[in-house]
Amino acid sequence: MKKKSIKIFLSVIFVTILVLMSTNVYAEDDIIVILDPGHGGNDSGAIAGGIYEKDVTWKIAKRVKEIFDGTPGITGILARGKDNNPSLYERGLLAKNSGADLLVSFHINSSSNTSAYGSEVYITDDPHSPRFYEASNYLGKSVLDNLRGVGIVPRSYRPLFRKSTDGELYSDGFLSDYYGIIRNPMYYGIPGVLIEHCFISNWGDRNSFLSSDSQLNRLAEADARAIIANKERFRINRENNSMNSQITKLSVNSAKTHLTGEVIVVDWINDMQAVPKSNPTIKLVSTDGETIYCYVQHKGGNTYYFDTWLSNIDSSKEYKIEISAADRVNIPVHHTMYTPLGNDKFLGEDELYNYLIKNQVLVSETKQYVGDLNSEIQKLNTIKVSENKYYITGEIIAVEWINGKSNVPRQTPAIYLKSNSGDSRKLYIKRLTGNTYYFDGSLEGLDMTKQYYLEIISENPNNLSTSKNQIVNLAKLQKVIGRCQDDKQLEIQEGKIIFNDYTYIGNINSQLVKFNVGKANNATYVSGEIIVVEWVNGLSTVPEVAPTMRFKSVDGSVNIDVFVTATGTNTYYFDRYIEGIDISKEYYFEIESGSKSNISSSKIMNVKFDGTEYNNKIVGKYHDKNIKLSEQKIMFKDDTYVGNINSGLVKFNVGKANEATYVSGEIIIVEWVDGLSTVPEVAPKMRFKCVDDPSINLEVFVTTTGTNTYYFDRYIEGIDTTKEYYFEVESGDTKNISESKSMNVYFRGTDYNNTIVGKYHDYNIRLSEQKIIFEK
């Protein structure tokens, strides 16, 4: 793969109903070239001899991109799909949003003069930047030379240019280009080159260069070689691009409601002035970091109108005006600036303030007034910000009544948390919108044995009111506000803030997820994972503190701690060494809420295994004993089990081998353990026995054929046909101590009951119930 340092660029342009999306992966230092196949969609371009220009340009551009894909240091981006037709404006905008260094447009010429032939290349004539004229000129010459190498005679020995006829200028004052595919990317500082490969209207050009894919590939390869050879001429350093601005108007409007202004904003791209592609961001930024965003509207050219409500401006603060370019692709570094404001300029006034520029900052000077402060609490909460560290937070409406009218305070008021004994703590406060304020403050180190209240105060020295402070009425709030320490909660009682012990009723519940038996340092331990939930007010909650676990004996003589640690939201790992345990006893796990604030009578429970995959199961071994979980008990059992055997005949055959008769078949065998059907761990045994002669007791060959299915066979040559016989099947596992671990194989309920299954010499062999009978 040719790429090393990879970056991903997504360009999404929405223009009317057209959406162009370009997703490209390329090295960070690649030269980016927009490859523009001329025409497309319902614009077929020139047509002659059954050849459409849009199809030819698509094939050429696509082949050039394929060559670029295999070439280090250059990336090609197609300007359109196979058969759509973005406008020339959209193609130029794609170049800008792709961060392109160059646009090359591929075309085929046509003329009413069918004798016209040969190649032409058009470039910009703007000499402002070497990239615009000189680099494009070098590239154009290389294209003409390479096309001459494949047999196309140039119509001009040098690239051509054509100026606009409408008098439109570039931002540097130079007359713009005629061709839109060159002019539009030039608006963004991106040079464009238009290649007219040959004449489709000329029979010789058409048949020699346009009639087959191999001919078109030769044209594409000539173009690609020229672009690759000249690519470094188009490299730019975007780090040097910048945004610049100048405020031309700034005043208070006649209605005394808004600060309004006009600003010229210029994007400098490749040493060329450009109109920003979209509105810049304009905001007032105070010296303490408060931000006020302004409304922005494009007036024309590089000029923008902006305004903000005077009520947004805090008279206690000073502001700069910050302007940021919207284009962060072409201006990645120098995209934001504080616009110079000048000195000692009066902007206007409203009823409350004079607005001025002093020492490059916007200030508002308050006129003296009498403003009675009033407030209404909206929210009060506590939040935990770190381990046992809590904040009090809230929202409050504050109003200054001036001459009988409700006003937004001219200066952000102060808010204090005060105790009845005089302790005081100033809280942080900021305006949210209108006359609504947010406040917060740390509760760390607060004496929580005292009662507190909130006081809001206008600290504006221009406010001459004797009623510019107020005790905040908290009576409307709910009683319990929230936690203020891990073991304390903040409450409102009789309009006061008090701190009480935090308690709750959390009924614990648990569910075993995993259980393992293992060894470490030759010592046995048990471990697992458990889900623990505390039910509080009917809701399932995650315990705030990890629960505790104990390993206890049923008789109460053993009570030892279990290690517990959280592994997920409400999932916990646990383990406990059990080496040296008294295996004659039965044990259980007890789990308890780890929170001292939990006062529930149901905060302790025994861990139950019923309803899980571990209930009534052997989970491992402790020395020569099995460890078994049952309901909620952990028991140590001998390595035996009770497995009642059951069987069902599936097949029965009579056959001969070496002139000797044998019987064979297939049988299903199940061991029922604790009421569950299980597959025997050891293959069962079978015997061929006589009903009335115990001395006839012959071993039968048995082998596994499936999950619990077995093949069996037994030679019976020389058998006493006057007697009756049966098969006996028995568990092959010596650990099975069941009294029902053997049984006679029954034939009833199968296809073979009371059925002749074959012959033994001149006797029929009949199966009946559980007997094998020989009939003459």
DSSP 497: E
Q: Of 89, 106, 74, 99, which is closest to residue 22 (Cα–Cα)? A: 99
CA distances from 20 to 32, 78, 106, 646 (A): 17, 10, 19, 72
This prediction's pTM: 0.40
- The sign one gets for the Cα dihedral 483, 489, 490, 491 is positive
Q: What confidence score (pLDDT) does residue 485 get?
A: 87
Tokens 């006081």 -> residue:
455
Residues constituting the chain: 776
> Residue 387: in which H helix or E strand, if any?
none
Task: Provide the residue type at 207 as one letter.
Answer: N
- The amino acid that residue 576 corresponds to is R
DSSP code per residue over 681-703: SSPPEEEEEESS-TT-EEEEEEE
User: What pLDDT is attached to residue 129?
Assistant: 65
> What confidence score (pLDDT) does residue 19 get?
35
Which of 99, 84, 94 lies closest to 38 in space, CA to CA? Answer: 84
For the chain, the straight-line distance linking the first and the last C-alpha, in angstroms and rounded, comes to: 86
Cβ proximity of 528 and 571 under 8 Å: no
Closest to 359 measured CA to CA, from 318, 400, 327, 328:
318
In terms of DSSP H, where are the helices of 277-336?
none
Short-list 134, 146, 140, 150, CA closest to 120: 140
Contact between residue 256 and residue 347 where contact means Cβ atoms under 8 Å apart: no
CB 683 within 8 A of CB 711: no
Q: What is the mean pLDDT of each run of 10 residues along the chain (776 residues)?
A: 36 34 62 96 95 97 96 96 94 90 96 95 79 87 96 92 83 80 87 96 96 96 96 83 92 94 88 80 93 94 93 92 89 91 88 89 88 96 91 96 90 94 94 94 94 95 92 93 90 94 92 94 94 93 93 95 94 96 95 92 92 85 90 89 91 93 94 90 94 94 94 95 95 90 87 90 92 93
Burial of 538 (0-12, 13-18, 19+ CB in 10 A): exposed
- The values of phi and psi at residue 318, to 5°, are -110, 145
DSSP 288: T
Cα angle for residues 457, 463, 466 (degrees, 5° grid): 65
Residues 6+ apart with CB under 8 A from 20: 11, 12, 13, 80, 86, 90, 94
d(CA 343, CA 347): 11
Provide the pLDDT for residue 171. 66
User: 501-555: per-residue pLDDT in tens?
Assistant: 998 999 999 999 999 999 999 999 999 999 999 999 999 999 989 999 999 999 9
Q: What tokens does 752 get?
A: 């073979």
The pLDDT assigned to 23 comes to: 46
Report the alpha-carbon distance of residue 123 to residue 120 in Å, rounded: 10
Burial tier of 531 (Cβ tally within 10 Å: 0-12, 13-18, 19+):
middle
Q: What is the pLDDT of residue 65?
A: 97
d(CA 595, CA 600): 11
Q: Look at residue 28 in the predicted model and tell me its pLDDT.
A: 74
